Chains A and B, each alone.
Chain A
Amino acid sequence: MPEILGSSSPRGTNGRIEITRDEVAHLASLARIDLDDAELDHLAPQLSVILESVASLSEVAAGDIPPTSHALPLTNVFREDVVVPGLTPEQALSGAPEVEEQRFSVPRILGEEA
């Protein structure tokens, strides 16, 4: 099974974690952020530095410390299957930029139906 938090970025020869310009461009497109060439050149080295800083945490954690995904030592926090009143359609749609037929109106998005 794949690692949930694994980073695919290779460590550079000098031990630094590098994120390539292409990886930044790919992540930007996944996040729907439009970056031009100058911004990519500017951001890629900065992101490498950030990654490196975060990675330094793993030097502190010994092998016997499992990765933490939650700050609370709890499990099984459930609720009963009972209906709770929510929002009216007017409330729900009050923050929508555009409303049509009691629905949120959004620009068309091509070819990416999940």
Chain B
Amino acid sequence: MTDTLVAFDDVLASYDPALGLEVHVELNTNTKMFCGCPAVFGGEPNTQVCPTCLGLPGAMPVVNAKAIESAIRIGLALNCEIAEWCRFARKNYFYPDMPKNFQTSQYDEPIAFDGWMDVEVDGETFRVEIERAHMEEDTGKSLHVGGSTGRIHGADHSLVDYNRAGIPLIEIVTKPIQGAGEKAPAVARAYVSQLRDLIVALGVSEARMDQGNLRADVNLSLAPKGSGVLGTRTETKNVNSFRSVERAVRYEMQRHAGILDEGGSILQETRHWHEDTGITTSGREKSDAEDYRYFPEPDLVPVAPSREWVEQLRGTLPENPTQKRARLQADWGYTDLEMRDVIASGSIGLIEETVAAGATPQAARKWWLSELGRRANDAGVDITDLGVTPAQVAAVQALVDGGTLNDKLARQVFDGLLAGEGTPEEIVAARGLAIVSDDGALSAAVDNAIAANPDVADKIRDGKVAAAGALIGEVMKEMRGQADAGRVRELILEKLT
């Protein structure tokens, strides 16, 4: 069945969207939440497991102190209250990704609650209220065998790797975000992107969406325009890029409106996001909370962070994001419009690191926003997931500043970086990209250009120096863009005047 989509502007004419975002952050602790197994990404299957994370009988969990510390710091950075006393709870469900048949999570006693984060979109600030941030553990990874796509449909059986089971997660849940109107998709994207910047600044997670360190679930509902009520929501799971967060919100707004316009009602359900086609499809009907039969985890004692500890952790927080954006704009000398574009592109952290690696703010902005932003867009990935690092961008710019490369050649170095051909210096050497300023080679090329364009040469001899541009172009063409244009001009004038 194909869903009927209403044009975006028509959605806004009749409905007010309400958003809710649930973001899972995988912490970068050395070990798992409740056992001493390594919490690292991508080992051989079932090599980072023990009786506790495999849920073997008799195994007892013990809480990782560092994970609690990270949870409190995230809570504080989101302006939350930190619970004086809270417990873990068992969320019971039967699925092979959790060998215990329950996930150890928190239910009605989250470690952090009632916070907010200010999100900037097109120069406008939206305050996103944070309902809670709670601790839980990640699940194992299932590989569905027998189907063609790796998804469940058509699968014959499943293979499970528990390396990821038990890695600490913080789930950050917003209150419903209302009043964003046409900006709802952009606000959703900006929230996730700016939340990522905050997580990175806290140093508590690798926070890479493409690696699954940061995973977003998007809740969306529509209500009749001006009614102020909340409609029935759908929850789109595992939207794994900033770009997709924006697209998923937009898609669900258009889909909901299609159903509501025809007098239908929205089924409260989980939706699956399809990155390739940009649509959502029905998952399962959402279980009621009571179906999970939450109850306090009897194998763990309560967590009661002392106020002294909380205040000590407050002292370790990075600069708050709003102040930081203002300071960076001043430090970098960007105009409001330039800064707005930088924020919208999600590259503020990348530029910060590039500047720290030695590039000027203007050069850093130029590469990330124009060249690399375009490439990320073409590839349909977030700029943070493109595969070029700030250190590499700074190194390329250093080669430009040192006269080895011009901007055009630098673009070819980025081609090489994306193709995994090594460091910028290695790519320059291997591809033979360096600018030629050796007079011997240039002089021969200039002679050729003069011989091939006698009329232009005559004009220059007659004193029309501006005509040299045409010859410079010829020489650049012959030298595949690698000639030092300034030196070429000097040589032409030396020879003809």
Q: Which residues of A contact B (CB under 8 A)?
A: 1-5, 8, 30-32, 69-70, 72, 74-89, 92-93, 95, 98, 100-114
Interface of B, secondary structure class, is loop
Per the bound structure, the CA–CA distance linking A2 and B152 in Å amounts to 33
Are B162's CB and A2's CB within 8 A?
A: no
* B48 partner residues in chain A, CB cutoff 8 A: 86
Interface of A, secondary structure class, is loop
Are A101's CB and B45's CB within 8 A?
A: yes
Contacting residue for A89 out of B44, B64, B284, CB 8 A: B44
A112 and B284 in contact, given A31-B94, A84-B35, A104-B159 (Cβ under 8 angstroms) = yes
**Among B46, B145, B289: residue with most chain A CB under 10 A:** B46
Contacting residue for B301 out of A72, A79, A98, CB 8 A: A72
Interface assignment of B247: CB less than 8 Å from any CB of chain A = no
Contacting residue for A86 out of B37, B65, B96, B302, CB 8 A: B37
* A93 partner residues in chain B, CB cutoff 8 A: 46
Are A78's CB and B63's CB within 8 A?
A: yes
Are A74's CB and B301's CB within 8 A?
A: yes
**Among A3, A83, A114: residue with most chain B CB under 10 A:** A114
12 additional A-B residue pairs with CB within 8 Å, beyond A88-B47, A108-B144, A108-B156: A1-B108, A4-B296, A30-B92, A74-B301, A75-B85, A79-B65, A81-B64, A82-B36, A84-B50, A104-B46, A111-B152, A114-B103
Query: Which residue of chain B lies nearest to A6 when distances are taken between CB atoms in the complex?
Result: B290
* A82 partner residues in chain B, CB cutoff 8 A: 30-31, 36
Contacting residue for A113 out of B63, B109, B152, B304, CB 8 A: B152
> Shortest Cβ distance from A55 into chain B, in angstroms?
16
A78 and B68 in contact, given A102-B45, A114-B95, A114-B97 (Cβ under 8 angstroms) = yes
Are A78's CB and B65's CB within 8 A?
A: yes
Interface assignment of B403: CB less than 8 Å from any CB of chain A = no
Interface string of B138-153 (1 = CB under 8 A from A): 0100111110000010
* A104 partner residues in chain B, CB cutoff 8 A: 46, 96, 159-162
Query: Which residue of chain A lies nearest to B27 when distances are taken between CB atoms in the complex?
Result: A81
Contacting residue for A81 out of B67, B93, B291, CB 8 A: B67
Per the bound structure, the CA–CA distance linking A109 and B290 in Å amounts to 22
Chain B: residues with Cβ within 8 Å of the partner, total of 70
* A70 partner residues in chain B, CB cutoff 8 A: 296, 298, 301-302
A86 and B35 in contact, given A77-B63, A78-B64, A108-B144 (Cβ under 8 angstroms) = yes
Are A106's CB and B284's CB within 8 A?
A: no
Give 7 pairs: A residue, B residue, CB < 8 Å, sorted on A: A3-B108, A4-B89, A4-B108, A81-B65, A86-B36, A100-B145, A103-B143
Query: Which residue of chain A lies nearest to B155 when distances are taken between CB atoms in the complex?
Result: A108
> Shortest Cβ distance from B474 into chain A, in angstroms?
60
Chain B residues numbered 81-119 whose CB sits less than 8 Å from any CB in chain A: 85, 87, 89, 92-98, 103, 107-109
Query: Which residue of chain B lies nearest to A73 when distances are taken between CB atoms in the complex?
Result: B301
* A108 partner residues in chain B, CB cutoff 8 A: 144, 146, 152, 155-158
Interface assignment of B432: CB less than 8 Å from any CB of chain A = no
